[in-house]
Copies of this chain bind each other. A is one copy, B any other.
Amino acid sequence: MAVSKSPADSTPAAGGGQPRTGRRPGENSTRAAILKAARELFAELGFAGTSTRAIARKAGVDPALVHHFFGNKEGVFAAAVRETVSTDTVLDKLPETAGENLAEELLRAFLGLWEERETAEAMVALYRTAVAANSTTNLLHDAGMAPLIERIAKLIGGRDAKARATMVCSQLIGVALLRYVLRLEPLASMSLPRFIRYSAPAVRATLSGEIAPAR
């Protein structure tokens, strides 16, 4: 991945060699407009279903601007997702020690991501494209799930902590998928507290490690 001549990276190259003169990268409201349009379209139509031209059209800018700012389609996607939901948005909300209500706390922290419009769009976009096709890189794993599993594993401890933590994650993903991505009723229309009450027993059961004895 060579550095493109365009400002394909968001940070404006803080430490330059030459004394910078000329126009500085400004407010760039159009860049934000492109990202907003991209987020919405990627969330609704997925990665393959969204064209860079459609993004530009929705943002009301010239199609070439999309490539100017982000290099290529993957660049727009990465920026739209990464600049909306950071890797440890969830981790920061998790407790340090496992208490009695760990299941609920986990659910609140994770599902909270999906309750705010922008982060929800980014998450939906992420999940859609992660599931859509076989990729060399596992999007979900890279985008914050790996550290989340590590964290949960550390919280619950035990020999097969990693496996159980992964199972917990699969439950988090499962409920989020049906409620926020597929919008299946009656899950989609439930209030968040009620939804958490319904999801909690499953998470708690896995956390507590009531795994049936081997063989």
Contact = CB atoms under 8 A, between A and B. Distances in A.
- Give chain A's interface secondary structure class: helix
A55 to B, nearest CB: 15
A132 B205 contact: no
Contacts of A205: 201-202, 204-205
Contacts of A203: 202
A135 to B, nearest CB: 10
A198 B128 contact: no
Interface residues of A, number: 53
A44 interface: yes
A164 interface: yes
A202 B206 contact: yes
A184 interface: yes
Interface in A69-121: none
Closest 4 CB pairs of A and B: A174-B174, A48-B48, A202-B202, A205-B205
